[in-house]
Structure 1
Amino acid sequence: MSSINYTTRTEGQTRINTILWTVPNFINLLENKSTREFRTVKTQDQSVDLTDSRFQLKMQFLGRDNDIIEIYYLSPNPVFLKSILTICLKRFEERSIVIKEYHTVQANKWQYLATLFKRDIASYDGREIFLLSDGSLRLKFQFMVSNDIKVDRTNVPEAQLSNDFENLLNNGLFSDVTMKSAEGNEYKVHKAVLASRSVVLKAHFEHNTTECYTNVVESPLESEVLREVLTFIYSDKAPRVDEIPEKLLAAADFYQLSRLKSFCEEALHKKLTVENAIETLQLADLHSAKTLKQLTLEFIKDGQAKLITKTEGWAKVKSVDLIKVIYEYIMADDFEADIK
């Protein structure tokens, strides 16, 4: 009866499973030509079941005289692992037999690991080479299971999904609805794509709406803006966001495209100056662009307030509420300092 010693430890994102498999009287096992396979069995610890929760091991004996020993392992779960097989020798020495770098392993499928030869277990002159002093064969398996391995993907083609969907927009293939700009320009599009990206557009095709019967969606957006919005919907890209961020912010808010809205807020923040700070703040407030509004208020507060009150934008402010927001934001820290 063989014995199993199973230990585990964790290093960072890697779980290292170490198994010591000791097979006593191994030469006798090899000489028994009726034995063609030898597997690990349940551990003596009744709380641990190798067949259910841990790696299993087996040897297959090949050749007329069991001259070849193939070693396999089985994982109960799909894993990404590195495996090392070591033979334990006399005088506490060890010899690595095989090291397999990280690769994906299927669950409950025997995986080939290494081959041993009978001639290496014991030489013809009777010397035991790979056996311990008591005649047992001891193999040490290390299975390093990781969730944080960077796979070399240099030979993997770049993702084409974004480009493929953009081509679908450009060629109108299999389109089932027409979208019209404010000027009347038409774009051949697809209900499923529009509905999956925008809850506003999805609402056009639900229930008994006019669009359900006509398969035409009238958009209030100008052609250049609508085209950019559709490009984003299909490809998740906004190539002109730095050119027309104000118009795109309004469009993103209208169609509830939060990611496009974030792109626009970032572009407007990059363009923020003393001269356009008030206009930017009004735009952010109008379209509920909370991040842009916060960043603009911080810009105004950061030593720019006096300069901004001399701009044309400030002179045109008609919203008392907006002036109140600016004032309260600027004065907040001073008020808190007075309290302390």
Structure 2
Amino acid sequence: SASSEKIHSSEDLQSSRMASSYNYTQVCVKFSCSWTISNFSFADDENGASLTSSTFSDASGRLKWALQLYPNGVDSVQEGYVSCFAVLVSAPEAGVRACARLVLLNAEGQEAMVIENNYYTRVYEGDQIGSELFSRNDVLDDASGLLQDDKLTLTCKVSITGCLVISTAQVKEPDSSLAFELGELWEESLLTDCTLCVAGQEFKAHKSILSRTRLISEMEPDVLKEILTYIYSGKAPNIRQMAAKLLAAADMYLLDRLKSMCEDTLCSSLTVDNAAETLILGDLHQAQHTKNDAVTFINVNAEEVTKTDGWTTLTDDHPHLITDLYQSLVSAGEPPAKRQRRF
């Protein structure tokens, strides 16, 4: 049967420029790899059967790719062709904009058959880039010179543009002055002297502690519980599930450290689907780091973001944010008319 030899890959950082937000870098990366398949003529020639290479990735390990080859086509429509694809195995939720160049080498290592697209398209985890244009008969024909010792060698170059590298520790959190013992005091309801009632739920607390934060109970029970957990312990264990609601509460009750924690969570969780809503949130609650990062993310992923419900809400109810987005483009030194079209 056919077997795969070790795949060789390399990465070339073509260009890099800082976007308008301090903790984003927009880059263009090119991956190249070579894959040799031994005993190719013995590969399963059933329509739909495939061979898959080992994975290769960028330097950060955030993007992982593999090559996939169908010796007799992906389906009945492609039967009679050797179908070759670059598969995005692992990627951020927002995907990446990429194009690929797939080449079959002859016995002398020269390019014999080439599949290339020169435009970038957005691909997500599990998507493929490639074609079925290699004729199976041509590949197996001795005259083609593609097989030497029954080995088929495929090279691939994947180019990625507009991807975002997000720095860690995006928002510096002020030091907490809350003692660990306070958390235990609240969790065990020791020496409590007041009760907060929200939607039929009661939370025992201490007047002396709550008076310092000017906390009132006009919020959902789960949010109030998380706020109380933070006030007593300095921690917010469920922040990822309720960062938006906690940000609003932290802004209202002047809990600056919690607000910073919420911003960090929101900035690290930006996606095409939530970017517009995150920008609105940052604007409403004076969360400048969140606002800046959302602006940058939207500009890089403009075509996809403008198709979301959040974008409709932004344009209808918060049109002033369109100005912020435009100003970000101008300050980046890349006027809209000259930006590469996003597919």
TM-score (norm 2): 0.43
Determine which structure has greater relative contact order: mean sequence separation of CA pairs < 8 Å that are 6+ residues apart, divided by chain length. Answer: 2
Q: Which has the higher helix share?
A: 1
Q: Which structure is larger by alpha-carbon Rg, 1 or 2?
A: 1
Higher strand share: 2
